[in-house]
Amino acid sequence: MLLRFRVANHASLRDEQELSLIADGPRQGRADRAVPRTRHHTVPVAVVYGPNASGKSNVIDAMAWMRLAVLSSFRRWDPSGGVPRRPFALRKHPGREPSSYSVEFLHGEVRYEYGFTCDDERVEAEWLSSYPEGKPRRLFERTAGEAMRFGRGLSGRRKTIADLLRPNSLYLSVAAAQGHELLGSLYQWFREGLRVATDADFTQRLDFTVDLCLKGGERPGGERLLALLRYADLGVSGLEVSEPEPQAEADRARVVAALRDVIGERVHVQESLGDRVSVEHRTDQGTFTLRLADESSGTRTWIGLLGPVLTALADGSVLCVDELDARLHPHLTDTLVGLFQSPHVNTRGAQLVFSTHEAHLLGRNSRIELQRDQVWFTEKDHDSGATRLFPMTDFQVRPSGENLEKRYLVGRYGAVPFFDDDLLDDIVAGINRGRGLATQELAEAEPEGTPGAA
């Protein structure tokens, strides 16, 4: 389970911001989970609202970047290429300020806090603590230019791993590559327990969903995925994948061979199933298939999300989605969120963190009943351009009958666009002036008596 995430100096998140999934208290009918050895519970869903360009997508992006750093810093980052971070750019000398990321999570019934600070060149600090009995126990601490410090709770080849560290690699990444049992399992939490779905990884998500669907009963979730395809009322009854064309296979083999000649034998080119996927439709005239590319963007979006959603529910993992409502009907968005919110469906502690514009989820017509401790907002400071992230619980509690959707849309919580009506009047006046000039120029350009001249 994800408990808290903190970030500073990432994209528009200039100052430290925190997203917490700690519940105000357990709620009847919501898939809350108790945090061992504490009095706290976690919420199954957290949503971030905000106007365009307010930074809500950067909250998801920061979590994705931290995950990528853990998974890739040792194996994939250029040893002499520094740290490919995204610092806040709207200030003088942005590269001088470090970026910081930290996360609190539950793994194996033990709470951990892991984080690091980096600049453009190296990792400045890195730390890991555990809470096996409710009190913090430092496992390791790293500061650039100093020797690693280890706690008694961390055994294994600690110093050997430290000797393999590069300035721009994370100790957690190196330890996992060297087979350290505990740190390798925490690395796997970032890999399998924290998943991210954005437009950038749609192809991989689609392939995963198709593979899950094709295997059906052989793999957990396959039959449920087909049921959700039909449930969405998109007219879809199944998916079909055609065999690759021989010429395409031969071309692919030549490309792989050429790359291996240049880069080495470790080259792996993953084939995308998307181009070979057809969507099955059953009508009163029979069963027909359409290419996935010919389906609506909403159908493609729904198919691409189902694999990660069902896997998160089956594994009890965290799924972070940017713009969950994009290209989906509000009822479908409601359905996806409801899968995580329901204690009858979400039995393994899965969590969904997403950004959206869909205010319907806050309304009385929504079936999921999001509570105040699940709702967050982003606003961008007009002077500095920096994003502020804050929860709905910062606002005074209203009677139980309050309409959260209405209060949000009228701006009671902030985090809505500001429209300058005076500026709009100037735009309209400019359009009208331009229209008048165009009409005058057209009249002057047409000879007298020309048909259509007025």
Query: Tens digit of pLDDT for each residue in 57-68?
Result: 999 999 999 999
Over 70: is that where the pLDDT of 195 sits? yes
Which letter does DSSP use for residue 303 in this model?
A: H
Which pLDDT belongs to residue 107? 94
Residue 241 φ/ψ, nearest 5 degrees: -120, 125
Which pLDDT belongs to residue 412? 66
* pLDDT bracket for residue 282 (50, 70, 90): confident
Helix, strand, coil percentages (3-state) for the chain, rounded to 5, are 40, 20, 40
Which pLDDT belongs to residue 340? 95
The whole-angstrom separation of Cα 349 and Cα 372 is: 20
- Write out pLDDT tens, residues 200-227: 777 788 777 777 766 654 455 556 777 7
Which pLDDT belongs to residue 453? 47
Which residues does 153 contact at the CB level (< 8 Å), separation at least 6? 130, 132, 137, 138, 139
Beta bridge partners of 352: 45, 319
∠277-283-286 over CA atoms, to 5°? 80
Residue with tokens 């198919």: 303
Token pair listed for 208: 């995963």
Query: For the chain, what percent of residues have pLDDT higher than 70?
Result: 80
Token pair listed for 366: 């929504």
The whole-angstrom separation of Cα 222 and Cα 214 is: 7
Which residues does 345 contact at the CB level (< 8 Å), separation at least 6? 31, 313, 338, 339
Token pair listed for 282: 């059953």
CB-based contact 354:2 (threshold 8 Å): no
- Write out pLDDT tens, residues 104-146: 999 989 999 999 999 999 999 999 999 998 889 999 999 999 9
The whole-angstrom separation of Cα 158 and Cα 395 is: 47
Which pLDDT belongs to residue 397? 64
Which pLDDT belongs to residue 449? 57
Which letter does DSSP use for residue 13 in this model?
A: B
Which pLDDT belongs to residue 226? 73
Q: What is the largest CA-CA distance in the chain?
A: 98
Beta bridge partners of 105: 2, 112
Token pair listed for 16: 């430290």
pTM above 0.95, yes or no: no
Which helix (H) or strand (E) is 143 found in, with range? Answer: strand 137-143
Mean pLDDT of the chain: 85
Q: Residue 335: helix, strand or coil by DSSP?
A: helix
Name which of 79, 83, 81, 90 is nearest 126 in CA terms.
Answer: 83
Count CB atoms within 10 A of the CB of residue 164: 14
Which residues does 311 contact at the CB level (< 8 Å), separation at least 6? 195, 208, 212, 221, 317
Over 90: is that where the pLDDT of 359 sits? no
